[in-house]
Amino acid sequence: MKLYKAYAKVNIFLKITGTRGNYHEIISRFVVVNSLYDELSFLKKDKKEFEIIGEFKCTTEQNTIYKAYIALLDFTKSKSLENLMQDYAVKVDKNIPTFAGLGGGSSDAATYLKMCNSSLDLGLSLNELALIGLKVGADVPFFIYGYNSANVSGIGEIVQEFKEELLEYELYTPKLEISTPKVYTSYRNNFFKPINSFYANELKEKTSLEILSTMSADEANDLFKPAFLEYSELKKFYKHGYFFSGSGSSFFCLKNI
């Protein structure tokens, strides 16, 4: 039984550049956290309906892996994909905390898409898989491409590799579930101040180490203040020198510094 690793990510910086309908356009540096990952595999089963084996708080229909299956099936119309999911369950050993800003659900979905593409020889390119993944979630394309570090823009569909030394991070995730839509709504209602393209380009050129050495947590992440406004209990978990990933609730800092 082959195991596939679905890695976590942190956002070194996350700035809002504008809006697109109900969505927010961003510029963000996504980096992989190699020390934290879920493990996915296919497991033979008896019942025919789609099955995910793992510790999840959502229903199967709400799970990003199931949504990825539906999006992939819609794109490929593959009978072999239907047959695969009738005969096999998706087993997930869950290590990435949920609702934590670490991209666990998106990484699981991306890994599942790549598992199916490889196992069934669907022949889909990374660009096609990213397009399918975007229907599941804005962070999925980053995990499809598999870069260690990338500048992500638009609503998540533009992923540009950023070549730099991969750093090690220390993570701290309070047992607090944060709603990403709620945090973005609070940003739009209370803190809306998109950055201009000049500043966005400036950030894109800086290394992650430069960002973490020169910016504070609230300067680096536009969702820091709205998250703390909506979830005031975050204040008791915040430690000086730590940064905020995504919409939270995870904090991170460079390891051994």
Which member of 9, 15, 67, 114 is catalytic? 9
74 is catalytic: no
Task: Tell which phi-psi region holds residue 26, choosing left (phi > 0), alpha (psi between -120 and 50) or beta.
Answer: beta
Cβ proximity of 233 and 176 under 8 Å:
yes
- Residue 37 phi/psi, 5° resolution? -160, 155
**Which residue of the set 38, 108, 114, 139 is catalytic?**
139
Which residues are bridge partners to 44 per DSSP? 88
For residues 12 and 148, the answer to whether their CB atoms sit within 8 Å is no
Q: Is 38 a catalytic residue?
A: no
In whole angstroms, what is the distance from residue 237 CA to residue 107 CA? 26
Q: Which residues are catalytic?
A: 9, 139
